[in-house]
Structures are given as structure tokens and as C-alpha cells.
Structure 1
């Protein structure tokens, strides 16, 4: 494998790491019923709050797809500091997305990544448009394919297979499951009415511990007790106290915006997702095979599998 191709592989892995990082903690369960935000009183009791969030969970889960603009910012984390913005369409039943990424984090770690990149995910496979310049160095194939599940199956490692499958399940940020998680917050509260992106909304917030987020994350189910306890201890040592989660529910009962923030001793991360057009058809298609280069097949052929 050429040095240039190896660099392209490094960029692809970096981008997938960003995607997983954005969506790493978002699986949960919830039951739903109640009134939409438009019926919310000015002052809400915990029971009222729960009904609104549960109703939003039900409507969002049923919508199955939406348009999204998501921004992730990291500060104080050295080479990984910066921002990345993702805009496009996503679906969560099934998990699909077609987004364009741009921002300083694409070239974090000195990978020399492009200024922006289109990324498509469907059928548990990730495709990244590496651009025309990179295509010239990859036999005209501008799309990098990463089939993590196939790579795990090829390894024959049952534990790895479970981890990869869980990671793929988590890769697509699911606003419905974020709402379900928020219901578990011990300090869930109603902040008040606010206007977001031209919409009247009701603002809610709560904090979840790392243990709660880890418990809700499917990929963590494959960890042994020893590894689970070590991970929790590591996060506590790093100074992570919890995830601050906020949601703005519009008059139609859908989340117009969701924020998740976390702060540790070495830095912080903030994720903001603005949603619109719930129920929009997520018509995501894989790029033509003739324009696609399989990353793991390339690595295997180079003896680096």
C-alpha cells in the first residue's frame, strides 16, 4: 500500500472515530404518553415534565427520520481540539444517514483531511467521499468503504463481533433514545419557554452520570465486570461528573434542539443538534461499487489487516 493510500486510510479512520464519538452514548428505553409542548403550562411539575418528555419520545420514535444540523466542539484536548459540523438527513429506524461534515476536527492529529466530507451510512456500512484529489490517488475511486461488521466477522472473534455490532448501533445519533435517557435524570427540570430557530419551544434540562450513560450504551454490554469497573474508575479520575443534557420541545411535540455537554479535567465537549422536518424520507443510497474502495480489503491486501 502506498504512503498516500495509507494517509487516506488514516483520514477515514479519524472520521469514523469522530462519528462514533458524537454518537457514543445514546441508547435507552422509555414508555410514552402525555401532552405536546404546546399544551405545557408556564410552570411545570415533575409529573408534567415527564409527560411532555415521554410524549416527545413517542412522536420522535414514530417519525423515524429528520433533517439535522449537528455541531461538536472540543476544547482543551490538545491535537483533538476544534469543531466539526454535520448537516444532512438521518434515520433511526433503520439507522441510516447522509451527511456532510466540515470543520477543523477533520484534520485533527495531522491527518491532512479535507475541508469537508460527505458521509453515508446504511446496512451497517460507512462510506466516506474522499474527494476528487484523493480519488486520483485511489484508481479513481473517491468513496472509502468501511464495513466494520464484516471485518469483525472475518476476525472470528465473538467478543469483537459484539463490540463492532454495538458500535454500529450507536453510530447514528437517535434523538428518541436521547429523550428516553433524559427521563432517567435525577434532576430533570423545566427551564421555561424559549424561541429556537423561529419555533416556540419549552426548554428542559437534566444531568446523567457516566454510569447511567454507560448502562444505556449497547456496546458497553460486551465489557467484562473488570473492564467496566476500570472504565468507570478512569472516567472519575479524569474528572467526568456527568453529562449535562438539554432539550427544547416545539409546539408539535418534537425536539427542535438537543444539547449534550461533558467536562473533564483536561477539557470539555459540547454537542448541539438542531432537528427539523421530522418524518422526512431518509432516501439514503450507497455509492456505485465502481467508485468505492474497501478499506479493510486494502489493508488485508497490504498485510495490515
Structure 2
């Protein structure tokens, strides 16, 4: 096998980032008219605790990667699993990738183009914890970017002091109420002490990705349906390496999600390769 391994890096890196950004969805009409904007946002955030699985679409712009689009499904409970097909539109032929997270291992597939670089194998497996290579895993982008509860980001709007109702809009055929507000990462970090342990850990993990990107302030838009659940949300901010502007639209909630690992014959196990290199 060739010693050089190439996959669509731009798409893969963006997918690792994007896999963390989703919340639940449902259908319906407007929320109760007496509900204040802050109360509506808080109730939608509370309802994310009921989410076991989600199916969603993402479009927008990610730092460094440029324009991206993706569709994904994720099972949160009882065990974590995820599959995502995404394209970094500004990356050309190298911009398409598929990611699967199953059995605590992450697989990145680059299709036929990757197979040309890896003696016919189109998938790379990241399972470095199994061989004690956590540091290398973190340097490569860390599967931890994909194992966060995807409901967490939507709850950030509850920390905004300027939440306001924009109006009523239809999103994918669902009537929703649109809210917006601005939050700072610093204020969100300060508020962690007011949360229970489980919520605090989830929020802390999600905030870390924005810190690493250099995002200080997030402008958020949130579209809530008649079942008091988030149908869509948008997050914008300025990162060290470019703008972040991502819109996530929810297509399914609490549906069965099955994710399988790619065939072993089509997979290069990066952890095993590194283990053999160390022994050599």
C-alpha cells in the first residue's frame, strides 16, 4: 500500500465541525400567543431533552472550508451513532466525503477518488483510543467533535438578553415563529455554574469548539414550531480563519437510526497503521 494517504480533507474537517450542530424538530402551528420570546425559546430548549434521534440538513459557510452542505442522521440514545454525507462546495473534486460514527469509531470515506490513493480502499477508520493514541486523535480533529449531544447548540439562545420575536414564517411546509438574539461565548461559560451537572458537561463540550475557532459572539436565529420544538436555527460568528454562518433544518425526530461500519476490505485502519509504525 502507498505510504501517502489522501482523502477529501476539506470536506472531512468541515463534517467533523458540522456534526455537532443540530436540535430536534416537529410539525405544527404557532406557539401559544401569550408566550414571551424568552419563554418560547426556553421551552424549546427544554424539549431538546426528549430527543433520542434526529435527521437534519445543513447549509452555510464554515471557517476555512467555505460553502458547505450536508445531510445527516444521528442517534443520541441509547448509544451514539451518526452518518453524514457532506460537500465542501469550494473544494472542487476533493470536497465530498461521508462520515460514519459507530461503535466508538469514526470512518471517513472519500469514494473512488480516495480509493486511487489507498490501493482500492475508500474508507479510513479512526479508532485510536483502542491503541492508546488519544493525542494523535486530537491532532487529527478528534472524534469527540462528533460525539456531542446535537441538541445543545440550540439552547444557547436562552442565554441572550435581547431575544425578540421576528415574525411568523413557514419552513419546509411547517408554520413557525422566528426569534433572534445575540450571545457571547464568555457569558455562556459563566452561566455553566447555574446548570445541573449533565447539562453543564454538554454545554461545556459544545462551547469548546467555538473557543478553538476563535468565535467570541454568536448571532442566533431560531424557528420554533407549534409543538414548541426547534424546526430550524442559524448561527453566525466571526472565527479566526473566516466567517461561520450555518443553518440547520430538521427533517425528522425520534425515528429509527441504524448506522453500520464500512466493510473491512474497503477500510484502512489508521490506528493499526500507526501501531505498526511504532513497532517498526
TM-score past 0.5 threshold: yes
Q: Where do 1:46-65 residues align within 5 Å?
A: 49-50=38-39, 52-65=40-53
Cα offset, 1:212, TM superposition: 4.0
Could you say what the CA RMSD is over the residues aligned between the two structures, in angstroms? 3.6
SS of match in other structure, 2:100: strand
Q: Where do 1:20-169 residues align within 5 Å?
A: 20-22=16-18, 38-41=30-33, 44-45=35-36, 49-50=38-39, 52-74=40-62, 80-93=64-77, 94-106=79-91, 113=94, 115-150=95-130, 153-154=132-133, 168-169=143-144
Cα offset, 1:246, TM superposition: 1.5
Counterpart in the other structure of 1:225: none
Question: Residues 92 and 170 (structure 1 numbering): CA distance in 2 closer, same or farther, change over 3 Å?
Answer: farther
Cα offset, 1:245, TM superposition: 1.4
Question: Residues 201 and 120 (structure 1 numbering): CA distance in 2 closer, same or farther, change over 3 Å?
Answer: same
| Stretch deviating more after TM superposition (131-140 or 282-291) | 131-140
Question: Residues 176 and 244 (structure 1 numbering): CA distance in 2 closer, same or farther, change over 3 Å?
Answer: same
Tell me if the contact between 2:15 and 2:84 (Cα under 8 Å) persists in the aligned partners: no
Tell me if the contact between 1:25 and 1:170 (Cα under 8 Å) persists in the aligned partners: no
SS of match in other structure, 2:253: coil
- Residues of 1 paired with 2:112 and 2:233: CA distance? 34
* Structure 2: segments with no counterpart, 5+ residues: 193-202
Question: Residues 220 and 208 (structure 1 numbering): CA distance in 2 closer, same or farther, change over 3 Å?
Answer: closer
* Structure 1: segments with no counterpart, 5+ residues: 28-35, 222-230
- Residues of 2 paired with 1:119 and 1:100: CA distance? 6
Q: Deviations over 1:202-256 (max 9, x none)?
A: 11222221224566332778xxxxxxxxx79x94xxxx54011121011232211
Tell me if the contact between 2:11 and 2:65 (Cα under 8 Å) persists in the aligned partners: no
Cα offset, 1:26, TM superposition: 8.6
Tell me if the contact between 2:44 and 2:228 (Cα under 8 Å) persists in the aligned partners: yes
SS of match in other structure, 2:152: helix
Q: Where do 1:1-305 residues align within 5 Å?
A: 2=2, 5-8=4-7, 11-12=8-9, 14-22=10-18, 38-41=30-33, 44-45=35-36, 49-50=38-39, 52-74=40-62, 80-93=64-77, 94-106=79-91, 113=94, 115-150=95-130, 153-154=132-133, 168-172=143-147, 174-212=149-187, 216-218=203-205, 235=214, 240-263=215-238, 267-302=242-277
- Residues of 1 paired with 2:104 and 2:68: CA distance? 23
- Residues of 2 paired with 1:23 and 1:70: CA distance? 9
Q: What TM-score comes out, normalization by structure 2 length? A: 0.75
Tell me if the contact between 1:96 and 1:123 (Cα under 8 Å) persists in the aligned partners: yes
- Residues of 2 paired with 1:97 and 1:174: CA distance? 11
SS of match in other structure, 1:98: strand
